[in-house]
Structure 1
């Protein structure tokens, strides 16, 4: 006797249905993770900004001992200290917005934090585009400023900011003049009589050529009257000069600057990309948290 078995019934209803409350709980956990992630990283940047601000303020208050420690002239040191102080304040302000906005879940602060990051990112992109497209014009402008600074070197004792900054640039880049040391022949204060040999500032002195690593600091910043057998001071105690035939850098700063940019191009691009990606990440997390906080809590309230 043959029996007909009934075919198995296929159920169209899923056996495992997701619990809406469990789904909302997972979303809440994800948002909590993002919230504390933003808080911790912005707290780190807040402390970092505070350290930068304190360092810049310390240089401004105690610049005399700092100059003797690192061997910088006063004007570049004051400029960089102010830049550090302002950068530290801005970093602290942005990090504080991120910390409070993420921890207290305030949409207005998160939106303001996102707006400031977006403005900073747009400014960096704009500067990068301008520098890449206007590179030749920018180089020509810098050349004009440098040559004008060389021509009017130490002519006004009350305004020496540009001269001290250029002296510091020559010392750090190990160069002399813009194209070559011959650029200093146009300096009125270093020209002297026609019979005198040409002079250059003491920032052109090549201490490595004579194994005198401390000679420049002793002469240029302390205004000592000798640097080897041929160095001498010209006109005033604030004007430090030495003959162009002495041990000086023979390379112009334009070529030295190009070499420095070429050697550090990968590092510069890497730092810029890293900062940009970090800003994009923080912007994405802040706007995601800002847009989803209220929606998740409203949905959770329906299931409770």
Structure 2
């Protein structure tokens, strides 16, 4: 039993050390993005709403670091308390993931309806001239240039009377000559604009990368289950001593 205990002990330590390192990397990068102006400019983060993703990563990195620390110390010190806290924390995360997946499958029609409602409201803001509308327009203009798309639902017509609006030195949806050769443009009101709506680009991206997303989710679940098994086996062996 001593050999098995030693094997479990160091396997648990290595597993959680890597877990802790991943948490440090996520936390460090997200804090760097949050506070570094150069990083924000490079990633086009210029809206307070866009910092939400960085804040979420800070929270995720912190949780991973704490769990990794508990697992490492619990294994090396053979602390039942730390191992139990690690087990409970990891189990709660796994339960939340499974619950989120089930709720996503059950409420998929409502989620799609909510997504379409948000998209429609955003499209309506393109026709307005309020301060809130201007923020949405500026953010969308950057996405349009990067995604080679125009508008949200119905292309250039989403912009209404603002179809000739100039943002950051370029007219909205402006399609340069090099993209005309790739058949990405259409002629509208005396100029070329991107013809594909941004909603289509977003949906195509999600569909294309769905296998990768599912693979990452499955991989995380496997790692979490392994962590639970290691911690419970080591906890039980420590308790027998």
Same fold? TM cut 0.5: yes
d(CA) in 2 for partners of 1:278 and 1:142?
Answer: 31
Which residue in 2 is equivalent to 1:293? 238
SS at match of 2:194: coil
The answer to whether the aligner puts 1:38 opposite 2:6 as a matched pair is no
How many pairs were matched up?
Answer: 229
The answer to whether the aligner puts 1:209 opposite 2:152 as a matched pair is no
Residues 94-149 of structure 1: CA deviation (Å, up to 9, x unaligned) = 11111111111111111111111111111111111222222222122112112212
User: Following superposition of structure 1 onto structure 2, how do residues 37-116 of structure 1 map, counting pairs within 5 Å?
Assistant: 37-63=11-37, 65-75=38-48, 77-116=50-89
What TM-score, normalized to structure 2?
A: 0.80
The answer to whether the aligner puts 1:129 opposite 2:129 as a matched pair is no
d(CA) in 1 for partners of 2:189 and 2:19?
Answer: 48
Gaps of 5+ in 2: 182-187
Given that residues 74 and 82 in structure 2 are in contact (C-alpha distance below 8 angstroms), is that contact kept between their aligned partners in structure 1? yes
Residues 18-48 of structure 1: CA deviation (Å, up to 9, x unaligned) = xxxxxxxxx1211211111111121122122
SS at match of 2:131: coil
Quick one: structure 1 residues 47 and 203, their matched pair in 2 at CA, closer, same or farther if it must change by over 3 Å? Answer: farther
Quick one: structure 1 residues 203 and 95, their matched pair in 2 at CA, closer, same or farther if it must change by over 3 Å? Answer: farther
Which residue in 2 is equivalent to 1:263? 208
d(CA) in 2 for partners of 1:46 and 1:95?
Answer: 4
Residues 257-304 of structure 1: CA deviation (Å, up to 9, x unaligned) = 332222222222211111111101111111111122121x2xxxxxxx
| Alignment partner of 2:198 out of 253, 268, 271 | 253
Which residue in 1 is equivalent to 2:2? 28
Given that residues 149 and 201 in structure 2 are in contact (C-alpha distance below 8 angstroms), is that contact kept between their aligned partners in structure 1? yes
Quick one: structure 1 residues 286 and 119, their matched pair in 2 at CA, closer, same or farther if it must change by over 3 Å? Answer: same
d(CA) in 1 for partners of 2:133 and 2:64?
Answer: 32
Quick one: structure 1 residues 246 and 38, their matched pair in 2 at CA, closer, same or farther if it must change by over 3 Å? Answer: farther
Deviation at residue 84 of structure 1 after TM alignment: 2.1
